[in-house]
Amino acid sequence: MCTKPARMFATLVLFSGLSWISGSPALAQQLPGSQANGQLNVCDFGAKGDGQTNDRAAFVAAIQALPERGGSLFVPASDQDYIWRGSGIVIEKPVHIVGAVSAASRIRFEGQGTPLEFRDVASGGLERLSFFAGPNSTNGPCLVLDKVRDLVVSKIHIQGFANGVVCRSNGTMHVSIENSRLIGIVSDSAAGWQKNSIGIYVEPPGPTSVRITNVYCQHFETLIRSGGDGTMLSGNVLEAAWYGVQVDTGTLTSFGDWFDPGRDDSPKNFMRAPFVIKPPVSSVGVFHPRGILPKHIHMDGVPRKRVVGMLEASGR
């Protein structure tokens, strides 16, 4: 069930005094909303985290209780999953949702549509949360970032959704997706992955800046697909897919990413095209990719001069 750290707080007050406790940043993250510098605790709004109760309404109530200027929502560790049934949740103000430090807070979605969407907000973020597709959920994207100006997704685990993260905007947008893990759906088809599934999709015309750093991504038909300007990849691990990175439009830079093309004799682990560049692409910089050879870069009609920088492949 949902961990209520108030008892620990009261005990420590008895021995050490309130002033010492309030000065501890680590402990402040574990305190309920009324005592943690304005950070709200979803359990104070009725969330159970018992794997059975529908906690969606509690999350909605906590988000609505935050001021219009935004704030932080804490999701404590629980014995079981937080369950969301029904429709997803749309956030339209600057909100930062944070999970527990000691263990990722797990949310199991058993509803329809997208579990969580940030829409037209100036800032916000997600940190230390896990999202799992339940048996009754529809196969859509897990997280949609729609016209957000400054948002960070960090230490997130997404599993079992047809699409992991979708970024869409026709204007200025700055998103960072970092230190996270995205795992798609393994199908029974020869390819092994659900058709048209995408790990991270930057939709055209695309945001002006999406940074994808230290992300482990597998079991999607296409792991990363970009149709925007200023998409930057660095230090990611990309494996077990039909397509690794596909660039539709705009610009993209890949630096120090690890590609595992797989073996020809293993269809469910073999990448047909680790790196695909399609017209009309402005430019693509490919710097020091690991595990990928020049033959793995498919130009698909794009002139070689569009590929800038230096390709230094380590081979396999």
Please tell me the predicted confidence (pLDDT) of residue 300.
Answer: 81
Q: Where are the domains of the chain?
A: 1-105+120-134
Region of 86 on the Ramachandran plot (φ > 0 left; ψ -120 to 50 alpha; else beta): left
The pLDDT-based confidence of 290 (bands split at 50, 70, 90) is confident
| Bridge partners of residue 147, in order along the sequence | none
Which position has the higher pLDDT, 37 or 253? 253
Sequence-distant (6+) residues with CB within 8 A of 15 are none
pLDDT digits (tens, 9 = 90+) for 110-157: 998 999 999 999 999 999 999 999 987 777 899 999 999 899 999 999
Q: How far apart are CA 65 and CA 59, in angstroms?
A: 10
Q: Helix, strand or coil for residue 200?
A: strand
Please tell me the predicted confidence (pLDDT) of residue 312.
Answer: 54
DSSP 78: B
pLDDT digits (tens, 9 = 90+) for 57-77: 999 999 999 999 999 999 999
- For the ranges 105-109, 117-121, 259-263, the lowest mean pLDDT is seen at 259-263
pLDDT higher than 90, residue 311 = no
Please tell me the predicted confidence (pLDDT) of residue 14.
Answer: 32
pLDDT digits (tens, 9 = 90+) for 168-222: 987 778 999 999 999 998 876 666 788 889 999 999 887 789 999 999 999 999 9
DSSP 124: E
Please tell me the predicted confidence (pLDDT) of residue 182.
Answer: 97
Please tell me the predicted confidence (pLDDT) of residue 206.
Answer: 76
Q: What is the pTM of this model?
A: 0.86
Which position has the higher pLDDT, 309 or 5? 309
Q: How far apart are CA 306 and CA 283, in angstroms?
A: 5
Half-sphere exposure of 202 (CA within 13 A, CB side): 34
The pLDDT-based confidence of 294 (bands split at 50, 70, 90) is confident
Please report the beta strands in 160-310, taking only residues with DSSP state E, as ranges in sequence order.
Answer: 163-168, 174-178, 181-183, 198-202, 209-213, 216-218, 222-226, 231-234, 237-239, 243-247, 250-255, 258-260, 273-277, 281-287, 297-298, 307-308
Q: What is the mean pLDDT of residues 251-260?
A: 90
Structural contact between residues 101 and 29, judged by C-beta atoms closer than 8 angstroms = yes
Which position has the higher pLDDT, 237 or 292? 237
Please tell me the predicted confidence (pLDDT) of residue 36.
Answer: 47
